[in-house]
Chain A
Amino acid sequence: MTPTGIQTQNPPIQRKLRKQNLSPTTRSQRNAGIVLALPWFIGLILFFLIPFFVSLYWSFTNYSILQPGKFVGFSNYVHLFHDATFLKSLLVTFYYTVFSVPLTIIVGVGVSLLLNLKVKGQAIFRTAAFVPSLVPVIAIMILWNWLLSPQIGVVNWLLSLIHVQGPGWFTDQHWAMPAMVLVSLWTGIGGSTVIYLAGLQDVPQDLYDSAEVDGAGVFRRARHVTIPLLTPVIFFQLIMGIIGALQQFNLPYLISGGNGNPNNSLLFYGIYQYQTAFSYLRMGYASAMAWIMFIIILIITAFVFKSQSRWVFYQGAKER
């Protein structure tokens, strides 16, 4: 996601003007540009750059809200690697990411291909698919906690109709994570479907037509025309999905009542970090946790970017 490849403004008139060294237009453009972007200079510094460096510094101290911290070198980082709870939370988060991200992408692409078919009632289906992403997280939590309740939940009742004994879902340490993945799929599909649908509108119709002339059926057209052309959007969703999944906090926090139970099976990284920072006020330790996650995200993102050349297909690439 570097700015290269994205069109920048460079009309010939301005290029000519630049030679005359600060013509009135250039000067007024420069002034207006800086004035209009001014809020962001402040925002970038206050809300991103300062916190970024401050948390890096704190991660080397034992700072807590109550007292100023002393410099402790790498001790926070060393402690973390011997902290069983920390390692558990890392594992839980990876487990979630590995299952939820690919599943959300596969289902999301599948659903949007279906929603892109010209069938009657398309608008209704599209709206229906989007509705879950409008529900606030707290309402989602209550709803699904109840639907998936082992004794009185509707899901287990439906399963009992086909003579399947439903699991304990969120009350069972082995089933809590699959339940979590299911719920995040329900909430996540709507938003990602909108993005894929937008991407699908850019697929040129003549490519379909020629594929149809060549005798390609629905599935072959999806596999060899649509999905390759959708890979840039899938790539964007993959990056955003991984970053989002590794930082998942709201849902597991609410579902587990803030503690990641049963038996820490929902102790996400974000929950443990939140507890460390705001319950135990160990800001230095929590900052070190944040930085470890930042580095993990950087490494994974770099890998995904590197894999790009193997599977992401850019329509305009050859023409440019």
Chain B
Amino acid sequence: MSKSMKTIAYIVLIIIGLFSIFPLLWMISTTLKTNSQVNLVPPVWIPHPFDWKNWIEAVTYIPFPEYFGNTVFVSLLATFGAMLVCPMIAYSFARLRWPGRNIVFALTISVMMLPSTVTMIPLFVEWKTVGLVGTRWPLILGAFFGSPYYIFLLRQFFLGLPNELEDAARVDGLSEYGIYFRVMLPLAVPGVLTVGLFQFMASWGDFMGPLIYLFKPSTYTLSLGIQQFMTQHTVMMQQLMVVGLLTTIPIIVIYFFVQKRFIEGITFTGIKG
């Protein structure tokens, strides 16, 4: 690449980087502004003085610990469910032979294309029938029964693992479950982590689910809590940004912990076999 091309590439990359990051920096800056600084034009970039009491106000105006706890509860359990069950199902599709397997897999691919709006209303009625509407369980239990997109992703992963491993384990006398839990599952860790991250992000930031299923404030998640800073006439901007940040930071932290394995997990390993 020529030198001038490289310079242009850098400039474009920096613009893209700023476009991505700037709104977040703006958010952080806002949380530290006094009321008189918030809506100034031209904008105040670095607040002076730092107004830390917004942070305290934000987490006391709504029952923050309770909402945070609910969000953690829902997200962790759903993530656990997805990471436990999806690899099992995917392994069964990829490596074990049983009658009807291909038909069930074709069905799995088909329901991946089914819009959630088709199933949303009957699902609501199903949860209502078992008396769980209004509790956090509809947001959790589904993850324990598999999800087509994750199953598909992990199946590709298991298909890419060499046959020799399985044969050797069988010669060593491991049962089918032993082969799965002790040989195959450990090798699929990057894929399983990817699924875990996807599920965690989906549960953590979910808005529609809590909106439909939760109506007791004691069960609210942060997504619903944030809404409470917006009243008919005013928006408590700094406090709202605090809770917005506090909702974003856990995801970014988790992403940093799993990002290396995550990139491995998303590469289309196994598609080519």
Contact = CB atoms under 8 A, between A and B. Distances in A.
A34 interface: yes
B36 interface: no
Contacts of B147: 43
Nearest to B245: A139
A181 interface: no
B157 interface: no
A36 B89 contact: yes
A113 B73 CA distance: 39
Nearest to A249: B208
Contacts of B167: 11, 13
B98 A34 contact: yes
How extensive is the interface on chain A, given as a class? 35 or more
A273 interface: yes
Contact of A117 (B9, B21, B170): B9
Contacts of B97: 9, 14, 26, 29-30, 33
Given A51-B119, A58-B121, A114-B16, A36 B92 contact: yes
Contacts of B26: 143, 147, 154
Contacts of A42: 145
Nearest to B89: A40
A3 B118 contact: no
B198 to A, nearest CB: 10
Interface stretch (A79-87, A98-106, A127-135, A172-180): A127-135
A94 interface: no
B273 A7 contact: yes
A74 interface: no
A243 B113 contact: yes
Nearest to A136: B205
Tell me the dominant secondary structure on chain A's binding face.
helix
Best-surrounded residue of A14, A26, A46, A115 (most CB of chain B within 10 A): A46
Contacts of B237: 146
A2 B106 contact: yes
B234 to A, nearest CB: 13
Interface of B: 1, 5-6, 9-10, 12-13, 16-17, 19-21, 23-24, 26-27, 39-43, 85, 88-89, 91-99, 101-102, 104-109, 111-123, 125-126, 128, 142, 144-148, 151, 156, 159, 163, 167, 170, 175-177, 180, 201, 204-205, 207-208, 212, 222-223, 226-227, 235, 237, 240-241, 244-245, 247-248, 251-252, 255, 259, 263, 266-268, 271-273
Closest 7 CB pairs of A and B: A43-B145, A136-B205, A33-B96, A32-B176, A139-B244, A51-B122, A33-B98
13 contacts: A29-B97, A47-B145, A51-B126, A124-B17, A139-B27, A139-B244, A142-B240, A142-B241, A197-B263, A247-B117, A253-B208, A290-B115, A294-B117
Given A29-B98, A31-B176, A157-B41, 19 more contacts: A8-B102, A37-B92, A49-B111, A55-B121, A65-B128, A125-B17, A134-B248, A134-B255, A137-B207, A139-B248, A143-B27, A146-B237, A147-B26, A152-B39, A186-B19, A195-B266, A243-B115, A287-B121, A293-B118
